[in-house]
Structure 1
Amino acid sequence: MSIIYNCRHCGHTIGKLEQKVIDASSLGFDQLSKSEKEEMIHYDSNGDIQINTICENCEQALGQHPNYHELDFFIQ
């Protein structure tokens, strides 16, 4: 089973963890609300977990251009 972190804006794979046993609290999943979990965490049929987050480049772009927060997608 893998935990794969992807940027929700540009689709870049940020990182991948290979784990046989996962402790959700050590990854901070227990700190998320139910709606945040539904938005960010997706389970693949092969057992992998896909986590939608933001990469450093997109975070920097959002910081430099706050109006991008209004857009559903700011990367074309």
Structure 2
Amino acid sequence: MTIRYKCRHCETEIGQLPFDSIDDQFLLKNELTLEEQDSYIEHGTEGNYTVNCICEDCQKSLQKFPNYYALKKWIQ
């Protein structure tokens, strides 16, 4: 099983964490609501997960242009 981290804006792969076995409760045991979990964590094939987060470059752009926060995906 792999947990993959990718930027939700530019879709750059940030990193991966390999795991032999991990259960959903461990992965999702945090402060996210169910709606946030659905929005940020994707369960893929073969038990893999993708966590949609923000890379450093996109974070810097968001700091310069805060109105981008209103858009779900601002890089076309």
Q: 1:64 to 1:31 in 2, by over 3 A?
A: same
CA RMSD of aligned residues (A): 1.7
Deviation at 1:74, TM superposition (A): 1.8
SS of the residue corresponding to residue 4 of structure 1 reads strand
Residue equivalent to 2:6: 6
Q: 1:72 corresponds to which residue?
A: 72
**Per-residue deviation, residues 32-54 of structure 1 (Å, max 9, x unmatched):** 11111010111112111011001
Number of residue equivalences: 74
Counterparts of residues 1-76 of structure 1 (less than 5 Å) = 1-22=1-22, 24=26, 29-76=29-76
| Counterpart Cα distance in 2 of 1:21 and 1:57 | 32
Identity of aligned residues (%): 39
User: Per the alignment, in what secondary structure is the counterpart of residue 72 of structure 1?
Assistant: coil
Per mean C-alpha deviation after superposition, the further-off stretch among 15-24 and 39-48 is: 15-24
1:75 positional shift: 1.4
> Any idea what the Cα deviations from partners look like across 1:7-45, whole Å, max 9, x if unmatched?
000000001000113372xx6742211111010111112
Return the alpha-carbon distance in structure 2 between the equivalents of residues 32 and 57 of structure 1. 24
2:8–2:73 contact (8 Å) kept in structure 1: no
Question: What stretches of structure 2 of length at least 5 have no aligned partner?
Answer: none
TM (normalized to structure 2)? 0.84
